[in-house]
């Protein structure tokens, strides 16, 4: 059997060959293999590569490279932002706000804060996945020390109105952390314009390597952040450990490429998603999950009423898709995101997430539509 068409770009993306080439220049004796903290020639050469990478990552998000800290990925960035900000502010207040549709790396960090005596409000989105301004306003308290809300959701692709959320937080003097792992490289992201005080993202969702991410921090947040790791002065003490030069170079190269590609790539992917939705929605009882237009171009989540997602997936060997997110499908847990939208267990079970990206093509989309149609018709024919 041929390798299936890839429809899971929201789980991870392949590394662009140009990115891989830049990374391999930082591994061997001939390349920039040095420790960027060393003061000799090899160290300085590696340090230059790191700072060039940092500048490229900052340029994609129109931020200042001095506000950027490298981490091992968005999971670590989210943990550092949520735990680090709340713990540092624990004497002033012990209340944190997040939502029910966040990534596990935010939700589980919030659970940890509850263990440490913090109160956490988990905002319920509207049925379209958007967090209503009134819901946020009602949750803000005098002792709130952090709001953490994602930009784009990884299961349904809905984009929150971050500038308006930021304005509401700032009016109450509360910092805002944004998990932008699914929006950086998918839509134009300008950290300043978003108004986030902290912003997390990761290389492997934008054709860079796994295991490298970033956290933006305004200078004000930086001074009041408690690190998670101790042991060296790297990243100004916020994230000690020898800097992974090849990973940072790969992240930078992926961001530099994305700056060039995004203006044409995003509308192309959007057209493919609309084509996919047109095809799937011609089937009976297919529901689009999430707001119809406030969304990233590449993610399409659909529920097929009356059909179990697992049986549907089993019949769809020619397309690599997920039922919900990569994380929840691995664990067999029902999606907390779909549950938060008000889906019952049955509808949640019948959900498929298609995600499209740089290497997706029209013939792949058409083949996926035909395959889903075939399987849905087959399963409906045998259903009692
Ligand atoms: C992928 C993802 C993460 C985790 O990023 P890693 O770099 O894999 O740790 C966090 N949040 C969202 C929304 C994601 O999609």
CA distance 102 to 112: 15
User: Which atom of ligand 1 lies closest to the CA of 78?
Assistant: 10
**Which string of b and e fits 318-344 if b means at least 16 CB within 10 Å?**
ebebbbbbbbbbeeeebbbbbebbebe
pLDDT digit of tens for each residue in the chain (384 aa)?
678 999 999 999 999 899 999 999 999 999 999 999 999 999 999 999 999 999 999 999 999 999 999 999 999 999 999 999 999 999 999 999 999 999 999 999 999 999 999 999 999 999 999 999 999 999 999 999 999 999 999 999 999 999 999 999 999 999 999 999 999 999 999 999 999 999 999 999 999 999 999 999 999 999 889 999 999 889 998 999 999 999 999 999 999 999 999 999 999 999 999 999 999 999 999 999 999 999 999 999 999 988 887 888 888 888 898 876 555 555 556 789 999 998 888 888 889 999 999 999 999 999 999 999 999 999 888 876
What string of DSSP letters covers 307-324? S-HHHHHHH-TTEE-BSS
CATH classification code of 17-256 = 3.40.640.10
The CB of 358 under 6 Å from ligand 1? The reply is: no
Task: Give residue 308's pLDDT.
Answer: 81
5-12+262-382 has which fold?
3.90.1150
Catalytic residue among 26, 110, 255, 327: 327
Query: Is it true that 5-12+262-382 and 17-256 share their CATH fold?
Result: no
Mutate which of 70, 154, 295 to test ligand 1's pocket (most atoms within 8 Å of Cβ)?
154
CA angle 169-170-176, nearest 5°?
Answer: 55
Task: Give residue 343's pLDDT.
Answer: 87
This prediction's pTM: 0.96
Task: Give residue 325's pLDDT.
Answer: 52
Q: Pick the residue whose CA is nearest to atom 9 on ligand 1.
A: 75
Active site residue 169: no
CA of 265 to the centre of ligand 1 (A): 21
User: Which atom of ligand 1 lies closest to the CA of 211?
Assistant: 7
CA distance 83 to 137: 23
CA distance 235 to 232: 9
Q: Give domain limits for the chain.
A: 5-12+262-382, 17-256
CA of 70 to the centre of ligand 1 (A): 14
Mutate which of 10, 15, 74, 244 to test ligand 1's pocket (most atoms within 8 Å of Cβ)?
74
CA distance 211 to 270: 28
Residue indicated by tokens 């950086």: 184
Are residues 60 and 185 in contact, defined by beta-carbon separation less than 8 angstroms?
yes
User: Which atom of ligand 1 lies closest to the CA of 204?
Assistant: 7
CA of 384 to the centre of ligand 1 (A): 40
User: Which atom of ligand 1 lies closest to the CA of 75?
Assistant: 9
Mutate which of 103, 158, 207, 290 to test ligand 1's pocket (most atoms within 8 Å of Cβ)?
103
Neighbours of 308 (CB within 10 A): 15
The CB of 291 under 6 Å from ligand 1? The reply is: no
The CB of 13 under 6 Å from ligand 1? The reply is: no
Task: Give residue 364's pLDDT.
Answer: 96
């Amino acid at each position: 059997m041929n390798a299936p068409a890839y429809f899971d770009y929201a789980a991870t993306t392949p590394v662009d060959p140009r990115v891989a080439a830049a990374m391999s220049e930082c591994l061997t004796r001939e390349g920039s293999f040095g420790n960027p903290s060393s003061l000799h020639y090899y160290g300085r050469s590696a340090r230059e590569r790191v700072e060039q990478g940092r500048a490229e990552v900052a340029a994609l998000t129109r931020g200042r490279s001095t506000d950027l800290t490298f981490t091992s990925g968005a999971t670590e960035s989210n943990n550092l932002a949520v735990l680090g900000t709340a713990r540092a502010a624990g004497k002033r207040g012990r209340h944190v706000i997040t939502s029910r549709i966040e990534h596990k790396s935010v939700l589980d960090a919030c659970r940890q804060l509850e263990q440490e005596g913090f109160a956490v409000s988990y905002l319920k989105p509207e049925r379209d996945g958007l967090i209503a301004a009134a819901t946020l306003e009602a949750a803000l308290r005098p002792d709130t020390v952090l709001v953490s809300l994602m930009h784009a959701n990884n299961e349904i692709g809905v984009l929150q109105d971050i500038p308006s959320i930021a304005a509401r937080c700032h009016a109450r003097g509360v910092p805002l952390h944004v998990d932008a792992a699914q929006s950086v490289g998918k839509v134009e992201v300008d950290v300043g314009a978003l108004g986030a005080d902290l912003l997390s993202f990761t290389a492997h969702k934008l054709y860079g390597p796994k295991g490298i991410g970033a956290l933006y921090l305004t200078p004000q947040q930086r001074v009041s952040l408690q690190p998670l790791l101790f042991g060296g002065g790297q990243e100004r003490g916020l994230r000690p450990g020898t800097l992974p030069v090849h990973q940072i170079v790969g992240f930078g190269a992926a961001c530099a490429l994305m700056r060039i590609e995004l203006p044409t790539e995003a509308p192309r992917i959007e057209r493919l998603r609309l084509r996919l939705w047109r095809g799937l929605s011609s089937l009976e009882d297919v529901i689009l999950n999430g707001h119809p237009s406030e969304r990233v171009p590449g993610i399409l989540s659909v529920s097929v009423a009356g059909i179990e997602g697992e049986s549907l997936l089993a019949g769809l060997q020619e397309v690599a898709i997920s039922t919900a997110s990569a994380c929840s499908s691995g664990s067999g847990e029902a999606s907390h995101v779909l549950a938060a939208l008000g889906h019952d267990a049955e509808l949640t079970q019948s959900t498929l997430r298609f995600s499209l990206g740089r290497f997706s093509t029209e013939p792949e989309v058409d083949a996926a539509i035909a395959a889903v149609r075939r399987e849905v018709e087959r399963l409906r024919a045998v259903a009692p």
